[in-house]
Amino acid sequence: MSAHCLFFRLLVLALLPAAIAVAQTTQGKGSEWERTVEAAKKEGRVVVSVPSSAELRKEFETGFQKAFPGIQLELNAARGASNINKIVEEQNAGVRNVDLHVGGTTSIITGLLANNLLDPVMPAMLLAEVKDPKQWWGGHIWADNAKKFVYSFTGYLTETIWYNTTVVKPEEIISWDNLLDPKWKGRIVILDPRSPGSGESNWAFLLRIKGEPFLAKLAAQEMMVGRNLRQLGEAVARGKSAVSIGVSYYTYLPFIKAGLPVKSISTLKEGYYAGTGSGNLAVLKNAPHPNASKVFVNWLLSKEGQTVFTKALGQPTRRFDVDTKWTKEHGHPAAKEFLTPEKFDELENGSEEVVIKYRKPAMAVAEKLFK
């Protein structure tokens, strides 16, 4: 062996341990995910605005803190419109407090998106199980036209007429038209359709399938219109009112656990719309805790996070690896169990296009009818 070859072999042997160490660092602790987690721990916390649900708050805090004990999760729980209004006011005042928002589409689209306050979501999806569209029924679904700012991780049919089973017989309400029966005058409650939320979503659906004259007749039923979900749910659960519109499973959950006689109506002649409920994620621009935000996004969209969300709200995830068959019993049949993606697109009621075409006009109608 020549002296030159011997020198080369010795050089390779000398450098090999260092090369292996570099490779291990690149694939292990130096990965983007691990660097992000370490940076998130230094930031110390993440602030997320979420729906007003005690169950969701408990499940989120327990699940996330167990997974990432070095990052404090601060939740701002309120109705979506209230959370959005607060965020917009803070942003206009130059205050950056909230990192992420989880909630319904209308308030996100008309509040955060319209005011150019959002960053794309996809760059925050770091884990393979999160960003791989094959993990999700329908692939990646977006509520915004640009398909990058409002990520919809749930999908289901929305059975949002609930009733007190001691007051109403199921056969008495088999069509939306039955709600115009004089016997229900003064006995229907509705989540305020003048403000973004499930009440407004139902109101827009009715404008779409029944027209404005039907809405005028429904408003004439002297419904109890309110924004306090618990108050509306309790009115039906305790029999003070007979029927609710726009009040869904997670509001009724405490009453269901207490054994009170409330149930959703599963079949209506005209059917229900498909939606994403509160299962929509938005990332705020200039988030105060950018790395902790990414950690939360990946936890939320993981199998664990989606199991927690579905369990707490009864709104079924689109992830294939999370059980959603049970949600049908609580008024939310999962899209992945009952629909094709094409049928979901046909029935969906929460995209930016639908918000502009139906939901905003429906709110204007509600403003006129409820004064």
The string of pLDDT tens digits covering residues 31-88 is 999 999 999 999 999 999 999 899 999 999 999 999 999 999 999 999 888 999 999 9
* Residue 350 resides in a domain: no
Q: Is residue 165 part of a domain?
A: yes
Helix, strand and coil in the chain, % to nearest 5: 50, 15, 35
5: in domain? no
Give yes or no: residues 39 and 176 share one domain.
Answer: no
- pLDDT above 70 coverage of the chain, percent: 92
For residues 239 and 166, membership in a common domain is answered with: yes
Contacts of 246 (CB under 8 A, 6+ apart): 160, 190, 191, 193, 197, 198, 199, 200, 201, 202, 203
- How confident is the model over 171-211, as pLDDT tens digits? 999 999 999 999 999 999 999 999 988 899 999 999 999 99
- Closest CA relative to residue 301, chosen from 153, 134, 156: 153
pLDDT at 27 over 70: no
144 & 194 share domain: no
Q: Are residues 257 and 282 in the same domain?
A: no
**225, 268: one domain:** yes
- 211 within domain boundaries: yes
For residue 297, the enclosing domain spans 32-156+276-339
How many angstroms separate the CA atoms of 2 and 176, rounded?
Answer: 93
Are residues 319 and 173 located together in one domain of the fold?
no
Alpha carbon distance 142, 149 (integer Å)? 7
Number of domains in the chain: 2
Residues 219 and 301 in one domain: no
User: Domain with 321 in it: what CATH number?
Assistant: 3.40.190.10
SS3 152: strand
pTM of the model: 0.84
Strand partners, 224: 189
- Could you tell me the sign of the dihedral formed by the alpha carbons of 261, 262, 266, 271, in that order? positive
Flag whether pLDDT at 268 surpasses 50: yes
Same domain, 256 and 317: no
Phi, psi of 275 (to 5 degrees): -155, -175
Residue 201: C-alpha distances to residues 32, 104, 105, 316, 320 (Å): 39, 10, 10, 18, 26
